[in-house]
Structure 1
C-alpha cells in the first residue's frame, strides 16, 4: 500500500473540509492485485454504538473538543428529537453516504398560485446530514434509532402509529421500492362555492409503476384520489383532473416572489416553509369569513418564509417576512444584550418600541375599547391624565425610548429578591419624572410594591431591584465575551430585538425534578437565543437552541 494515491475526494459539498483516510494492511479481505481502502475518522460524538462498524464514522471538519464541564436541560427536546428521529432514524450507511442534497425540489413540481407550502427533505445537503448525525447521538431518544439504514422507515413508522389504516401496509414490500426522499405539501385557495382550501402533495418517487400501487395502499382515507407524475414526483390531488392540471402547470418555484423569499432565507435545511398572507386572507374572505377591520389592508402584501437547519452545536429556525404596512422605526440603538454583566442568566432587548407605540396608538385604543365593549380603556387614559398627570401614550413612549433591555442575574436567584433590572435608552430626566408619576399612582391605589432603585446614566435610566445591581447595569458588562451568548445570539448589537436564556446557569432549579434518561437528555440543552432585525418592510429572525 505504501506510495499508493488516496481515493478521489468523496464529498463535493465543501472541498475545504477534510476527510481522514486509513489504509488497512493487506489481509485476507484484500484480493491480490487490488487496493482496499477504509474511510475512517474519530467518533463524531462519543464512542461507536453497539453494532456500529467504525467505517461508518465519517467526519467532515474537526469537531471542537468536548468541553470540560457542560450541562444542559430539557423541554425543547421533544420537538428536536421528533425531527431527528424522522430524518436520521436509520443513521448508518444511508445517512452517511447519501450526501448529494441535489435534484428537483417539491416547489419545482407544485403549482404556481399555492398560498402556503411546507417541505421536508430526508436528503439535505451534506453539512445538514452530518450535523443531524452529531446531534442525534446526544439524546437517548434518537441515539437508539441508529440501528437501520433507511431514515424513511423511521418516518413511515411514526406516521403508522397515528393512522390505523396503515396497519396492513408493509414498508419493505409496499413503500421502500418507490419512495424518494422529499415531500412537499401545498395549499391553494378553495374552488368557487367551496369553503375548504384545496390541498396538493408532491412525493418524490424512484419508480412510477411501483408508486401507483404503493400510493393506493397508503391513501387509505381517499382524500387525495388524483395521481399524476412530474419530474420524479407523484402529484396527489383531490381529483384526477386537478392532479393532471397541476402536473403541467407553471411551478411555484417560477414565481418571482417565491424565488426571492426562498433566496433571502438561504440554505433550506431539512424543513422549510413559505406562505402568502395576502392570498390566505383573501381566500378566507371569499369563503364568507369576516376578518377584523383593516386586516386585509395590513397583510395583503405580506409573505413569510423560513427553514429549520442544524449545526453540530445547535438547531436553528430562521425566517423572514416582508411586505405589510408596518415600517421599521427610524434609526435607533440596537439590542444592548452584549453589554450586560457576564453573570446574566436571561435578558430581553427591544428597540424602537416607543416610536412603534406612538404610531399604532389609535389602533391600540380602538382594539382595547372594542374588547371591553365600550370606552373603558379611553376612560382610564383620561382619568390617569386628569388625576395623576400621566399622559398616554406620550409618557409611555418616553419610558420605552429607543431601547428597552430587561435582565435577570444568576447571582441572587437563591435569595428572597432576585437581581433584576431594566435599562431604558431615553432622556433620563424625563423618564424619572414619569416613573415618579407611576409610583404615586401605585401608592394611591393601595398596592404594595417594592422600592425601585434608579441610576441615571448618559442617555439611559436604569431601574433595578437593588441599588448595587442598578449601578452594575449602568456600566458596560462582558456578556458579549461569552461564546455561548455569541453563538445563541449572533450579531446581537445590530438586532432590533433579542432574547437570551443561559440554561446551563439555571439547570439546578429544574434538574432535581427529573431522573434517568429524562434528566440526561435535559442536561444536553445549553442555551436559547432569539434575534430579529428589520429593514424597511423586511423582518428576519433566528431562533437557536444550543446543545452541550
Structure 2
C-alpha cells in the first residue's frame, strides 16, 4: 500500500472497557517473545536482517516507550545460537526451535475475543518480528487512554495487504481499536482521535530522531532484544498536572535486554535522574572496583561487595535523620562514636560472602523443611575497618553463646572476619565467576550467586550447567548503571 495513510472508515468509539484487551495482549506478546530467543536464531533465515524499528513510527513526544526486536543482526544471530548452546540440558530439552512465539498469544487473543480467525492463515503471513508501544501526553482529550496519556502499538508488517485485511476484519468483528498500516508497521490505537494525533506527532518528529533517546538506547545496547525508555521529567510533570501534586523529578531511564555469547544481561541506566533536588551523583564514590569481593574464598556461594558504604550511610542519616536516627544509638551501644564508627565497622570497601550455606541453603530450597538451625560459614572483608573494634563487638554479641565466635584477622590492608570453614583459594580466580562478572571491574557495588549448589540441591542432573548470576551498580556524577547477568555453563 505504500507509505501513505489509507482512508479510514467512519468509526464510533466503543465503550472504554472494550479496549482493555489491547494492554494484556501486548504485554503477553512481549513476554512470550522475550522468552523464546531460540526461535529468533533458527527461523526466518531469509530476509532476516535490516528493516525499520518501531521508534521510526512512534512519536518523539513519547514519555514512555518499549519494544521487542526478534529480527536480529548477523552478530546477534551468532550470539543467540552460542548462548542457547550454553543453556542447561533440562532447559534445552523444553525448547521447540520451530515454535512461533507469537502463535500462542495471538491465538489466545482471538479465542478470547470470540472471532473466527486462524493464526496460520490470518496473521502469520504478515506479522513481522518487531513490536513497539509508546505513550505520549494527549493534546486531544478524546485521544486520552489513561492519566493524560495517549497510547499506540506498532506491529511490524511483512505484507501490508494481508495486514489490512486481517486487522480490518478483527476491527469489524471485535472492535475496541482502530488501525492503519504505514511505513512497514501496523499502528493500533484505541480510537480515531488517538490515531489522528499519532499521525501529527510522528510527522513532526519520530522518536528515532530524538537525540537523547538515540544516545540512551546506544548506552543500554543498540541491538537489544527488548528495550524500554522513559522521560522521567516529562512523566513526573504529567503526573503533577493530573494528580495536583508537585513532582520534582528529572532525567531519563533506559533498559535493555541483551543476549551475548556467554550470558544474558539486563541493563538499566539512569541519566541525570534526581528527585526533589537529590541526585544519584550525590552518592557517587571515587573508590571503584570489586577486587575485595574477588578476594573472598573460592567456595563462596553468595557474595555482596560495595565501596563507600560508610559515607553513603552517613549521608542518608544527614538527609533523613527521622528515618536513620537510631544509627548513632546503635553505634554507641557497641562503643563506637558516630560517624567514625561507621568506617571502623564497615571499612571504606566491604565484601561479605557465604561459603557453606548449610541450613540457609536447605531452608531456601525446601522452605524450612529440614528444621536446620546451623549457622552458615561466612567471611567479611573490610578495607580500612578497625580490627580491635570488630573484635570487641563480636565478643559482646557472643558472650552468652555456646557457638564459637567468628575470628578476626588481617590480610594486607583488609580486616577479615570469618565464621566456619572456607576454601583457601580466591573467588576471583574461579572461571565461572570471571565469566559472569566480566566488564564489571570498575563498579561501585556488586553481587554474585553461584547457581550450581542450588541446582544440585534441587536434583538437577547437570547442576554444573547452571553457572552463576551476577550484577553490579556503577554511580557516576550524572548517571548510574545497573547490570544483572546470567552466565550458564551448559555445552561448554
Would you say same fold, with TM above 0.5? Answer: yes
In the TM superposition, 1:473-488 aligns within 5 A as: 477-488=425-436
Match of 1:198 in 2: 150
Counterpart Cα distance in 2 of 1:497 and 1:343? 20
2:57 paired with 1:103:
no
- 2:269 pairs with 311, 316, 320, which one? 320
2:170 paired with 1:212:
no
Match of 2:184 in 1: 232
- 1:280 pairs with 224, 229, 235, which one? 235
CA drift at 1:427:
3.9
Match of 1:173 in 2: 121
Counterpart Cα distance in 2 of 1:190 and 1:522? 52
| Partners of 2:140 and 2:193 within 8 A in 1 | no
CA drift at 1:457:
4.0
Counterpart Cα distance in 2 of 1:382 and 1:484? 40
- 2:386 pairs with 428, 433, 453, which one? 428
Give unmatched runs, 5+ long, in structure 1: 1-79, 369-376, 512-518
2:349 paired with 1:395:
no
Match of 1:418 in 2: 376
| Partners of 1:136 and 1:143 within 8 A in 2 | no
Counterpart Cα distance in 2 of 1:124 and 1:90? 7
Please tell me whether Structure 1 or Structure 2 has the larger radius of gyration of its CA atoms: 1
CA distance 1:223–1:198, change in 2 (3 Å): farther
CA drift at 1:199:
1.4
Match of 1:63 in 2: none
Secondary structure in 2 aligned to 1:300? strand
Counterpart Cα distance in 2 of 1:133 and 1:217? 38
CA drift at 1:145:
5.3
CA drift at 1:443:
7.0
2:406 paired with 1:452:
yes
What is the root-mean-square deviation in Å for CA atoms of aligned residues?
Answer: 3.6
CA drift at 1:421:
1.4
| Partners of 2:395 and 2:405 within 8 A in 1 | no
Counterpart Cα distance in 2 of 1:184 and 1:439? 59
CA distance 1:171–1:425, change in 2 (3 Å): same
Match of 2:350 in 1: 404
Counterpart Cα distance in 2 of 1:231 and 1:386? 67
In the TM superposition, 1:78-477 aligns within 5 A as: 82-83=32-33, 86-89=36-39, 92=42, 94-100=43-49, 102-136=50-84, 138=87, 146=96, 148=98, 153-161=100-108, 164-165=112-113, 168-189=116-137, 195=147, 197-218=149-170, 222-225=175-178, 227-247=179-199, 248-288=203-243, 290=245, 296-297=247-248, 299-301=249-251, 303-324=252-273, 325-327=279-281, 328-335=283-290, 336-366=292-322, 368=323, 378=325, 380=326, 384=330, 389-410=335-356, 416-428=374-386, 432-433=388-389, 436=392, 440=396, 442=397, 451-466=405-420, 477=425
Match of 1:13 in 2: none
Return the TM-score normalized by structure 2: 0.76
| Partners of 1:117 and 1:187 within 8 A in 2 | yes
Secondary structure in 2 aligned to 1:273? strand
Counterpart Cα distance in 2 of 1:501 and 1:363? 33
Counterpart Cα distance in 2 of 1:264 and 1:482? 29
Counterpart Cα distance in 2 of 1:191 and 1:520? 58
Secondary structure in 1 aligned to 2:376? coil
Counterpart Cα distance in 1 of 2:54 and 2:147? 26
How many residue pairs match? The answer is 431
CA drift at 1:136:
4.8
CA drift at 1:530:
1.0
Match of 2:467 in 1: 526
Return the TM-score normalized by structure 1: 0.69
Counterpart Cα distance in 2 of 1:288 and 1:207? 43
CA distance 1:505–1:182, change in 2 (3 Å): same
CA distance 1:455–1:83, change in 2 (3 Å): farther
CA drift at 1:381:
5.2
Give unmatched runs, 5+ long, in structure 2: 1-29, 274-278, 362-371
| Partners of 2:40 and 2:72 within 8 A in 1 | no
CA drift at 1:485:
1.1
